[in-house]
Structure 1
Amino acid sequence: MMQVMRFAVEEINNSTLLLPDVSLGYETYDYCSDTRNFPAVFDFFSSKGLIKVKRRFDDHQPKVISLTGPYGSTRTITIAPLFMLDLIPMVNYGSSSYDLSNKRQFPSFLRAVPSNKDLIQIIINIIQWFRWNWVAFIGSQDDYSQDGLNRFYSKIKETGICLAYQESLGKKSNYRETLNKIKMLNVNVIVIFAVTQYAEEFIKAAIQNNIRDKVWIAGETWSMNQQLPREPGIERIGTIIGITERLLTLPGFSDFIYKSRGEMTHLHSSAEACNQSCEKCSSLSPEDIISENPTFSFAIYSATYTMAHALHKVLQCDTHQCDKNKTVYPYMLLKVMKKSDFPLLDRHVRFDENGDPPVSYAIVLWLVDRNPPEFQMIGTYDTYPRMHFNINSSLVRWTKNGSAPFSNCSVECSEGFMRRQDGFHECCFQCQICPPNTSINSSLDPYTCTPCRKEEWSEEGSTSCKKRRMEYLHFTEPVSILLMFFAVLLIVVSVAISILFAYNYNTPVVRSAGGNMCFLMLAGLSVCSISVFFFFDQPTAARCVMRDLPFVFFYTVVISCMAVRSFQIVCIFKMAAKLPKAHSWWVKHNGQWLFVGLASLIQFIGCVVRFSVGSPKPYNDDTSFQDQIVQGCDLGATTTLVFVSCFTALLSALCFVFSYMGTDLPKNYNEAKSITFSLLLFSLSWLTYFTAYLMVHTKYIQVVNVIAQLASLYSILFSYFIPKSYIIMCQAEKNTQEYFQTTIQSYTQTISRM
């Protein structure tokens, strides 16, 4: 590391563009321990050998105006506060703890290496790239590892990655026990975020304990380690993926080392640094220095150039000279350093508001089966000028079966299954199929089967809800056309019979059928059939009312006419002689019309109450079928429905009773069979409808309703009016006064003989 710094200083001093007539000097100290290095630290920020408490920064000039180092987060955090007091810029090359990005605590701290925040992010990206979620995190007992663990743990909370196991290695750690726990938990991906010493020992322990076919993700401290790839048996432990800064070759560095190595041989073997002997310093060959771990080479190089560029601006240098008379204070350099922005060896040196540089990481694969071992770049991660992450998966050589090992707590659920967490970790789960009418979007929430909306449906195990079909009777359906045809036919037949009866109004058949009342009945039948047309197309409030109102009211009118007609015939033949006054009053005051009017009024009031208080309304049946919503009309208020239905049933019963009282009347006046048939068909059709209404929930229940209405109307038309029309058209001999007189005389003679 020191040789890279020396090389950069020499290069700057020989430059004619940077600090043209100024030479940089430096002092180097070996950071021996957290306590024994303080004399060197005090010497750095002393002024003329004295350390004073200062109130102002613009009149204090310490021994050094900037420094780089030390290597390691714990070492930096230990001494950095002392330099912060004087705002002496620290441009660090090997401390990545994110705590150092806190500008309130470390206002004059800058670094040429990315922080743990970015390093942890790329580790998480690698884990997500290969779709792992069950990992172990191995660190060491220092600020670097502890900060990395904290960052890792906080960042994986929203990623679906679970920390299966974590351990901080120390001098007394039992590596075998740690490895056995990892093996027991079936963890196949291990992140080693520790300082070099413990990372090396842990990998060697994995080799000794015959750990096989794992994935080892190396932090930047040991990702380019030159000795471990040569360790016997390392090829058996699995695939090692390292993260390092994008490596750059420093032009002229090798020549500098070979040239300056001669000077190093003159160092005395007993030279001391930090009160320690450096017996091996002179024994290092140029090849040993050049082949050292190059991870931090560019960081040291750029840190040195950052200080030089800042000094160049503070001294207001041009291409020939600098203002040497200007006094340079540390805070001046700091201000300029924060705004650094210059190219260096195809890189761009600059700092963000936290004093951190742009990220330019390389993802390397250890090729330990080659001689010598190699580091192959398989991916990159950059933040400048834009965020970019990529891995060429085809370059990765997996040690087991040629495919990425499985490192997940649970096998991923199939489509349509939700996760049910099993234990503490959210990655550990059981799969449960989503029930019908729910769906699951695993990318948004894999733990919840979301209910479909009312207008949607789904089958069991669905990933999306489908739109439910809106079902109702359309005008264009064949069954709808057929029913409307019968409704129109009924109107046409009713009109035709009305014309026929009007033309033969004074004949005995028409008079005995009711005379004027026949036209009211036929008109009522025609109006009732209008209700049929409102059963088709999408239900609305008006359509629901019109389905029932015309039929209920005018059918009551028709039934009341039939009932009063049956009563009149019975009165004429059986009760007129017994109750002459009552019969006289009935005839005088047109009792039949009073009865029809009263019955119609009662039903009209019932209909007004029914359709104003609790009228039938459109409703959507979304429970009977999964894939469709059946649109129809409800029955409205139960109380009013029962009232109008019971009143219609009462009139039908009266009609039936009066018709049977006249079973022994002359054949021309006996309506018992026709009325019984019509009422029986009426009862059966509506009983069938209400039974089907309770059992069947398709749109075709409306067809049953229409059929019930048409059957009620056609039963009256065919049992009451068609026979009489047949006599008028085909049996004219029975439509004479003489024929009717003959039947009456025959009935009288029969009665008198009894």
Structure 2
Amino acid sequence: MKHFLVSLHLLGSFLQIMSQCTVPRSEFHLEGDYLVGGLFDIHEVTESISFTRVCCLFSAHSQPFVSSSHRRFQLMRFSVEEINNSTDLLPDVSLGYEIFDYCTDVQNFPSIFKLISVNGLIQAQNEPHNNLSKVVAVVGLYTSTETRTAAPFFMKNLIPMVSYGASSSIFSRKQIFPSFLRTARPNKDIMQVIVNIVLHFKWQWVAFLTSDNDYGNDGLDLFTKMIRKTDICLAYTNSLNHHTDYTQIFKRINAQNISIIIVFALERTAEVLIESAIQLNVTNKVWIAGDAWSLNKKLPKVIGIKSIGTVLGVCEVAMAIPGFSDFIHRSKSHARCESDGQQKFCNQVCNCSSLSPEEIFAADPSFSFSVYSAVYAIAHALHKVLQCGAGRCNRNVTVLPRMVLAELKKSNFTLLNETIHFDENGDPMFGSYSIIYWNDNGDAEVVGISTFQPSFHLLINNSKIQWYSNEDVPTSKCSQECKAGHVKYQGGIHKCCFTCEICPRDTYVNTTEDPYKCNVCKKTEWSAEGSTSCNLRVVEYMPFTSPIAILIMIGAVALEILTLAISVLFSINYNTPIVRSAGGPMCFLILGCLSLSSLSVFFFFGKPTPPFCILRLLPFILFYTVCVACFVVRSFQIVCIFKMAAKFPNLYSWWTKYHGQWLVITGAFVMQAVLLLIGYSQETPKPYDETLWSPDKIILTCDTNLKGTAGSVILLSSLCCLCFIFSYMGKDLPKNYNEAKAITFCLLLLIVTWMVFATAYILYHDMFIQILNSLAVLFSLYYFLMWYFLPKCYIIIFQPQKNTPQYFQGLIQNYTKTISQ
């Protein structure tokens, strides 16, 4: 800090030497009770200037003239004059100004020292303020780079600096720039408008060109952050300076097929860019201009400007300032060129007296209201500090810059129907932006507006814009949008560049939430391939009230009645040869197991529950095993009596002595019960929602327990095979004893039935597979009932002559004679 203060003292000591450059009286100075400093870049230095050159050797007025800045300079002069003529604002206090042409950072430090010095000396920060400068605040600067250089000198003593154009975000940081305020909206607001313009027209693939300075770099940084959660992709970016190769820039832009170019650059930089685009024959582009050059008066008149495409832009809403026109005409008619003996800096000379009022009015009017409101904000703050009221002010108040700063921060007044006030960062909470379009007449036509208070809102009248294609809004995309039901697959760094992949069945894509993901439908929903939403599945199961279910259950009840009737008939005729040859007491066991097996049929209907799923096959498998086991031993006994008794007398003796048939039946029953118990304990059948075979339906069924029933099915199948072998061996026995043929036929029907069911189950998994399963169970029961028992019932009832011992003995004797022959 000590080195900094010493430097300030040394530089300030040169002010006496530098002030010896005598020039004619100019419009840059006005005496007053209090002075407002002004810094305007009326001329622009386009080449590097040596640090060693002093002010008078480098004349600002010899550099290129900036008409828009000169207009703003005149507007400050007018604002001060208007305030001095007012009886309400600073009524008995005159306001003066000290304005400098800030054309370059290098050569304008003397101007800054002049504003913060007293009698050529700069007071140290901690010394008492014995001699105070009349400068209570400064209006300026225009660009962010210039402001960043000059602002620290004013921050030291908290001299208010109200900028009318510096929009970089860094100036909102009060710990670095405590006495800085601005009447131009910051870059974040401008960039919000530009981003929303791009979103409004659904552009995605854009280029962003900036000035190679604080203004451009800050704009690019803000733009990059704002588009992160949007569909906008920054395809190309570059910073523009004196060494830029515009040919390469446009080659890159064309190579990437970019149609939208955002140019966030200073006015002079933008002019060079657009002129280069015309010379390089760049066509069919949409240019979006920042507020620094959108109202440029030169470019819309350049030959060939229409060929580059359509130019849109953002600018502060144009506001007519009453009295400014009269002031310019009056000033030009009373131009003061004579010398009054005063000594002025050389960068307080304009040499622009030859400008006509029309030329001033024709200049770019951007930031006019920003200058006007900046001067008025300072005046209102000074008005509060001086306790002005009732036509007079308190001149006994010692005005310090920090006092003006405190009142500036609390500003709240109306100017041209606009309420002027600042937020805690010194940024304006007023103003709006116009969306303009360069029409065929070379004018900036307003086609929309963007407001920030109370919330952001953008409105654009598309019908006013004539696009370069004379058709609809141009498109700018890296990849064409995917068809409905397709997701985007991003292969590179840009989310706008992608390939499209169709979403598979039972998934969908919601493009508003995440266009890069196929979402899985809920279990209760389904979707076809390439869907954007899911549909509810139709829940289906076979209810008890279904006609086909009722018919099957009637068949099961009929089987129960038949088994009961046959049991009664066999009980009455228990001692007859037919009943004894059919198995005697074993017949009642078979009929009882057939009746119990039919219970499974009833559990195939209704909404599946865990008990229903268990009882669907458990009774059938368990009791049907007993039935088959009975037929196994019955077939074995018939063959044994007629064919094996004589050959294997010991085996036959053991079989009859120990009741071998009942041992086999009991063993089969116990073994099947154990297998079912083990299998169901490992994996119990449970309800299952079948969605694979019918994508638009949920079939309520039971999960097939293959592991749990494998052992039981193998046992039952083995018994069927044994039964078939024994019954086939007895096919040539006496007719009334020839039950083997009936058993063989039943087994063949049984095999065919379950093969048909297995084939249907593999190929078809709809709700009606449960119908087929119940029918297979029911038919398996009816086969034995119809082909084994009913023929015997027929003989008992309708052919009693065949149900006698004599008839059976005759059949046996005939069979014996046949064998002996």
Q: Which residue identity does 1:71 align to in structure 2?
A: Y
Q: 1:659 to 1:167 in 2, by over 3 A?
A: closer
What is residue 433 of structure 2 aligned with on the other side? 361
State yes or no: 1:8 paired with 2:76. no
- Secondary structure of the 2:288 match is strand
User: Could you tell me which of 302, 319, 323 is aligned with 2:394?
Assistant: 323
Match of 2:711 in 1: 643
Does the residue aligned with 1:67 lie in a helix, a strand or coil? strand
When the two structures are aligned, how many residues end up with a matched partner? 749
1:195 equivalent to 2:266? Answer yes
1:559, distance to aligned residue in structure 2 (A): 1.8
Deviates more, 1:577-586 or 1:736-745: 577-586
Would the aligned equivalents of 1:136 and 1:164 in 2 still touch at CA under 8 Å? yes
Q: How does 1:274-285 map to 2 (within 5 A)?
A: 274-276=345-347, 278=349, 280-285=351-356
CA deviation profile, 1:476-498 (whole Å, cap 9, x unmatched):
55544443333233223223323
1:353 to 1:575, Cα distance in 2 relative to 1, 3 A: same
Corresponding letter in the other structure for 2:93 = V
- Structure 1 residue 364, shift from structure 2 partner: 1.0
How does 1:489-500 map onto structure 2 within 5 Å? 489-500=558-569
How many angstroms does 1:280 deviate by? Answer: 3.5
Change (3 A) 1:173 1:648: closer
Shift of 1:58: 9.1
What's the CA shift string for 1:63-93, capped at 9, x where partnerless? Answer: 4221110211111010101111211111110
Deviation at 1:568, TM superposition (A): 4.4
Which stretch of structure 1 is more off in the superposition, 298-307 or 483-492? 483-492
Tell me if structure 1 keeps the 8 A contact 2:266–2:292: yes
**In the alignment, structure 1 residue 723 sits paired with structure 2 residue 791:** yes
Contact 1:30 1:273 in 2 (8 A): no
The question of 1:714 aligning with 2:808 is answered no
Aligned to 1:374: 443
1:600 corresponds to 2:669: yes
User: Does the C-alpha gap of structure 1 residues 190 and 643 become closer, same or farther in structure 2, counting only changes over 3 Å?
Assistant: closer
CA distance in 2, matches of 1:273, 1:545: 109
Mapped partners of 1:56, 1:456: distance in 2: 80
Question: In 2, are the aligned partners of 1:265 and 1:282 still within 8 Å (CA)?
Answer: no
Is the contact made by 1:207 and 1:236 (CA closer than 8 Å) also made in structure 2?
Answer: yes
Letter in 1 for 2:230: T
Which position in structure 2 is the counterpart of 1:112? Answer: 183
Q: Given the alignment of the two structures, is residue 539 of structure 1 paired with residue 608 of structure 2, yes or no?
A: yes
Q: Which moved more, 1:626-635 or 1:483-492?
A: 626-635
2:115 aligned partner: 44
Q: Does structure 2 conserve the Cα–Cα contact (< 8 Å) formed by 1:211 and 1:236? A: yes
Are the aligned partners of 1:89 and 1:331 in contact in 2 as well (CA < 8 Å)? yes
Query: Counterparts of 1:550 and 1:628 in 2: how far apart (Å)?
Result: 30
The answer to whether the aligner puts 1:88 opposite 2:156 as a matched pair is no
Cα separation, 2, equivalents of 1:578 and 1:221: 121
Which 5+ residue runs of structure 1 have no aligned equivalent?
Answer: none
Local SS of the residue matching 1:609: helix
Q: Distance in 1 between matches of 2:627 and 2:676?
A: 16
Kindly tell me: are residues 637 and 436 of structure 1, through their superposed partners in 2, closer, same or farther at Cα, counting changes over 3 Å?
A: closer
Q: Give the stretch that moved more between structures: 69-78 or 407-416.
A: 407-416
In 1, the alpha carbon distance for the partners of 2:462 and 2:295 equals 20
Could you tell me how far apart the structure 1 residues matched to 2:250 and 2:351 are?
A: 35
Query: Is residue 340 from structure 1 mapped to residue 408 from structure 2 by the alignment?
Result: no
TM-score by length of 2: 0.84
Post-superposition offset of 1:572: 5.6
Q: Is the 8 A contact 1:269 1:278 kept in 2?
A: no
The Cα offsets for residues 215-260 of structure 1, whole Å up to 9 and x where unpaired, read as: 2211111111223222233233322212111111112222233333
Three-state SS of the structure 2 residue aligned to 1:242 is: strand
Structure 1 Cα separation of the partners of residues 746 and 713 of structure 2 = 17
Q: Partner amino acid for 2:783?
A: S
Amino acid at match of 2:578: V
- Structure 1 residue 59: deviation in Å? 8.6
Task: Trace 1:506-545 onto structure 2 (pairs within 5 A).
Answer: 506-545=575-614
CA distance in 1 between partners of 2:345 and 2:129 (Å): 32
> What is the distance in 1 between the residues matched to 2:467 and 2:647?
116
Residues 31 and 574 (structure 1 numbering): CA distance in 2 closer, same or farther, change over 3 Å? closer
What is the match of residue 331 of structure 2?
260
- Partner in structure 1 of residue 27 of structure 2: none
Within 5 A, what are the aligned runs for 1:666-705? 666-705=734-773
CA distance in 1, matches of 2:288, 2:79: 32
User: Does residue 212 of the first structure (1) align with residue 283 of the second (2)?
Assistant: yes
RMSD: 3.1
Amino acid in the other structure paired with 1:196: E
What do the CA deviations read for 1:458-481 (whole angstroms, capped 9, x no partner)?
333322333444554444555444
Equivalent position amino acid for 2:171 in 1: L
CA 1:434–1:647 in 2, change beyond 3 Å: closer, same or farther? closer
**Matching residue's letter, 1:557:** V
Go from structure 1 to structure 2 and tell me whether the alpha carbon gap of 1:278 and 1:324 turns closer, same or farther (over 3 Å shift).
closer
For residues 108-507 of structure 1, the aligned pairs below 5 Å read: 108-266=179-337, 274-276=345-347, 278=349, 280-358=351-429, 359-367=431-439, 369-370=440-441, 373-421=442-490, 424-453=493-522, 455-470=524-539, 472-507=541-576
Determine which of 90, 95, 99 is the counterpart of 1:24: 95
| C-alpha distance after superposition, 1:302-354 (max 9, x if no partner) | 11121122222233333433332122222222222222222221212122222
Paired residue type of 1:684? V
Cα drift, residue 19 of structure 1: 2.7
Q: Deviations over 1:338-376 (max 9, x none)?
A: 222222212121222222113511111122x33xx4322
State the SS of the aligned residue for 1:157: coil
- Amino acid paired to 2:481: E
Contact 1:525–1:554 (8 Å) recurs in 2: yes
- Contact kept in structure 2, 1:270 and 1:277, CA below 8 Å: no
Match of 1:733 among 801, 804, 807: 801
3-state SS of paired residue (2:91): coil
| Residue 276 of structure 1, CA deviation | 4.7
Cα 1:196–1:714 change in 2 (3 A) is: same
Say whether the 8 Å CA contact 1:32–1:274 is kept in structure 2: no
Structure 1 residue 532 displacement after superposition: 1.7
Deviations 1:623-656 (A, max 9, x none): 4454445554344253x53432232234334434
State the distance in 1 between where 2:711 and 2:162 align: 95
* Cα distance, 1:645–1:424 mapped onto 2, change above 3 Å: closer
Decide whether the 8 Å contact of 1:610 with 1:637 is kept in 2.
no
Corresponding residue SS for 1:240: strand
Q: Which residue identity does 2:464 align to in structure 1?
A: L
Counterpart-to-counterpart distance in 2, 1:439 and 1:748: 79
Q: Any idea what the Cα deviations from partners look like across 1:655-700, whole Å, max 9, x if unmatched?
A: 3444455445443222111111112222232333334444444444
The amino acid across from 1:157 in the alignment is: R
Q: Are residues 107 and 668 of structure 1, via their aligned partners in 2, closer, same or farther at CA, if it must alter by over 3 Å? A: same
**Aligned partners of 2:100 and 2:347 also within 8 Å:** no
Aligned mates of 2:594, 2:129 — CA distance in 1: 111
- 1:655 and 2:723 equivalent? yes
The structural deviation recorded for 1:47 is 4.3
2:102–2:347 Cα contact (<8 Å) kept: no
Aligned partner of residue 313 in structure 2, secondary structure? strand
Per-residue CA distance 1:557-582 (angstroms, 9 max, x = gap):
21222233344455666677888888
- The 1:157–1:599 alpha-carbon spacing in structure 2 relative to 1, beyond 3 Å, is closer
- What is the identity, as a one-letter code, of the residue corresponding to 1:493? L
- Per the alignment, residue 13 of structure 2 pairs with none
